[in-house]
Structure 1
Amino acid sequence: MPATAPQGPISDRPRFDCRNAYVKALADLAQEDHRIVGVVNDSVGSSKLDAFKKAFPDRLINVGIAEQDMVGVAAGLANGGRIPFVSAASSFLTARALEQIKADVAYSNRNVKLCGMSPGMAYGELGPTHHSIEDIAWLRAIDNMTIIVPADPVETAAAMRWAAATEGPAFIRVSRMSVPEIYPEDYEFVPGKAITVRDGDDVTIISNGTVLWRALAAAEQLAADGIEARVLSMPTVKPLDVDAVVTAARETAGIVTAEEATVAGGLGGAVAETVVRHHPTRVDILGVPEFAPTGSAGFLLDRYGMSPDGIADKARGLMRRT
C-alpha cells in the first residue's frame, strides 16, 4: 500500500460510518453531473440523505415504502438519460425488488446503481427480518451485475465515483457499522481487482466489507505466533479476481474467507468455485450459516467466528490440516 495509508494497529484506529462517505460522494457527483439523481423508499433519514435533499430537492425521488416501484422508477430514469443511485436498506431492496432488479435493471442493462444500505447484520436488534445476509448470493446469480462490498469510507467513495462514471448496473453495499480506515485518500477502485493489504506466504485470508479490518487484526495476531498471513481485500465479489485467488491457492497452505453474509453463495462460495476449477486447495468459509438471531452486529459477527480471534483460530486450524 502507498505510504499515505493509515498506520498503526488496525484495532486502534478511529472508526467511521460509511454512509457519511456515501452521501458526500453522491452530493459531490451530483454537483458535477446534472444527470445524477437519488431514488429512495422513504429512507431519507436512514440513508443520511437529508443534506442531499436540501441541496438538490428536485433530484431526490421518494417513492414511499414501495421497493419494486423504486427500482422500476430508477430503470425508467436511466432509460431517460439520468444516472439513478437507488438508496434503500439492503434487506428490502434486494428481497422485495429482486424481480425488478433482474428484469428491469440487469436484463435490460440499465445504468442503475443499487446502493444497499445497512447490509449484513447492521440492523442487529431488529432480527432476521432486517438482516441482509443473502443479498450477495441472490445478486451473484443474476447476469450483468457488478457487486461491490467496500471495506471503509475511502473505498465506499471510490466505488461511488467508479459507478457514476461507468455505464451499466452495479450493486454497492454501504456499511452502517463503523469501521476503521484502511486505504489512503488516493485509493482508486478497480472492479475485479483484489488488493493485497498484508503480504504473507503461510496462509491466505480473503475478506471485504466490515470484516476486512477484523481479518487484518487476525493477521497481526498470527504474526505474533510466527505465521505470516496474506490478507486479500476482495471489494468486488463479481467480477472476482480469479488470478489473485489462484495465486493464493498455489503459494499458501490454504484460504480462509470471512464476510458479513451467508456462507452459501457469497464471497466464500465464489472463492471455493474458483479454486475447484483452477487449483484445488483447502478453503474454510466464515460467514453466517443460519437465520441469525437478534443481537448487535458486533456480537453476531463474533458469534459466527468473525472476531479477530475467531479468524486467526480458523487460519491456525487450516494450517494444522496441511
Structure 2
Amino acid sequence: MLNPKLKLNPKIFSTEVEQVPIRKGFGQGLLLAGEKDEKVVGLCADLTESTQMNLFVDKFPDRFVQIGVAEQNLVTVASGMSAMGKIPFCSSYAMFSPGRNWEQIRTTITYNDRKVVIVGSHSGISVGPDGGTHQALEDIALMRVMPNMDVISPCDAIEAKKATLALVDTKRPAYLRLVREKTPIITTEETPFDINKAEIFWMPDVGLAQVGIIVTGGLMHRALLAAKELEAEGIKTKVMNLASIKPLDTEAILVLAKETRAIVT
C-alpha cells in the first residue's frame, strides 16, 4: 500500500494521473526562490526554455546571465558570482553540464566549496529521439565523487520544486538532476521533503517486506507499479524514494536491507 503518512497522490495508479515534466517543477521552484531571496541568480547555456529557466528570466531579467553555448564558462562565471555573495543556479542539458564541463566544476566550484547549484536537465534516456549523444547516463557517477557536492534527483515535478527551494538554504554546491519527458505526479504539496532523508513510498499492509526497491528520479512510478504487481503475486515489497543520492541516508538504507531478503536498485 502507499504510505499513508506521506500524503502521496491518490491517483498514482489511475490512467488519469496527471503527468508533468520534472524540469517544470524546477522552473517553478526557481521563480519562487527568486521571489524570496534577491541573492538568487540564474545562468544558462542557451537553453532557458528547455530547462524551464525562462520563468525566472521573465520575472528577473536583471538577475540572469545568458552565457551561450559555452558550458565551461557557465560554471566558472557561476563560481565567481558565488564568491561575490550570490546564489547561482546554472542550467543546461546534463550531457553538457556536467558532461562537458566536469573539470571546471571540479576546479572552480567544488575545490573552492562555492555554493553553486548545477542543474542538469534531459538526463538519462529520457531524451528519446535526441539519441545517444544526448543521453547522460554517467552524470550521477561524475557528480557524486566530487568533494563537497550534493546530488539530488527528484521523483516528480512537485518534489523538484521543493528540492530547488531547499537547495537555496544549503551551504554546499549541488547537482540537481532532471529528466525531459512528462512523468506522473506521485507526491503532493503536503508530502514531506528533506534533502537528508529517504522516504518509504510503498509498504506491505501487514508484516515485513521480502524485497526492497530503492529508486531515484523519474523511475519511481514504474517501481510503484512493479510493487503493486508483486503484492498481487504475494511478494511483500517496500519502495524507497532516494531523492538525495548525496548526502546518502545510510541509516534508512541499512534498515531496509536488514528487513528484506533482497534489495533492487
TM over 0.5: yes
Give the Cα–Cα distance (whole angstroms) in 1 for the partners of residues 12 and 45 of structure 2. Answer: 39
Structure 1 equivalent of residue 217 of structure 2? 209
What stretches of structure 2 of length at least 5 have no aligned partner? none
The amino acid that maps onto 2:85 is: G
Give the Cα–Cα distance (whole angstroms) in 2 for the partners of residues 145 and 182 of structure 1. Answer: 27
Give the Cα–Cα distance (whole angstroms) in 1 for the partners of residues 220 and 29 of structure 2. Answer: 22
Deviations 1:183-210 (A, max 9, x none): 2212342223110001141111110111
Structure 2 equivalent of residue 287 of structure 1? none
Q: 1:133 aligns with which of 114, 132, 137?
A: 137
Give the Cα–Cα distance (whole angstroms) in 1 for the partners of residues 96 and 149 of structure 2. Answer: 18
TM-score by length of 1: 0.77
Structure 1 equivalent of residue 248 of structure 2? 240
Contact 1:158 1:188 in 2 (8 A): no
TM-score by length of 2: 0.93
Greater helix proportion:
1
2:259 is aligned with 1:251: yes
Q: 2:9 aligns with which of 6, 9, 24?
A: 6
Give the Cα–Cα distance (whole angstroms) in 2 for the partners of residues 4 and 240 of structure 1. Answer: 23
Runs (4 or more) in structure 1 with deviation over 4 Å come to: none
Structure 2 equivalent of residue 73 of structure 1? 77
Structure 2 equivalent of residue 310 of structure 1? none
Q: Which range moves more in the overlay, 17-26 or 78-87?
A: 17-26
Percent sequence identity is 34
Contact 1:199 1:231 in 2 (8 A): yes
Q: Secondary structure at the match of 1:129?
A: helix
Structure 2 equivalent of residue 280 of structure 1? none
Instruction: State how 1:129-278 maps to structure 2 within 5 Å.
Output: 129-200=133-204, 201-257=209-265
Residues 126/161 of structure 1: CA separation in 2 closer, same or farther (3 Å cut): same
Q: Secondary structure at the match of 1:223?
A: helix
The amino acid that maps onto 1:216 is: L
What is the CA distance between 1:2 and its match in structure 2?
A: 3.3
Residues 10/106 of structure 1: CA separation in 2 closer, same or farther (3 Å cut): farther
Give the Cα–Cα distance (whole angstroms) in 1 for the partners of residues 228 and 212 of structure 2. Answer: 13
What stretches of structure 1 of length at least 5 have no aligned partner? 258-322
Instruction: State how 1:98-117 maps to structure 2 within 5 Å.
Output: 98-117=102-121
The amino acid that maps onto 1:89 is: Y
Deviations 1:40-88 (A, max 9, x none): 0011121123332221111111111000000000000000011000111
Q: 1:39 aligns with which of 13, 32, 43?
A: 43
Q: Which range moves more in the overlay, 48-57 or 223-232?
A: 48-57
Give the Cα–Cα distance (whole angstroms) in 1 for the partners of residues 245 and 53 of structure 2. Answer: 27
Contact 2:27 2:54 in 1 (8 A): no
What is the CA distance between 1:3 and its match in structure 2?
A: 6.7
Give the Cα–Cα distance (whole angstroms) in 1 for the partners of residues 95 and 82 of structure 2. Answer: 23
Residues 9/36 of structure 1: CA separation in 2 closer, same or farther (3 Å cut): closer
Contact 1:67 1:96 in 2 (8 A): yes
What is the CA distance between 1:11 and its match in structure 2?
A: 5.4
Q: 2:28 aligns with which of 19, 24, 30?
A: 24
Contact 2:197 2:244 in 1 (8 A): yes
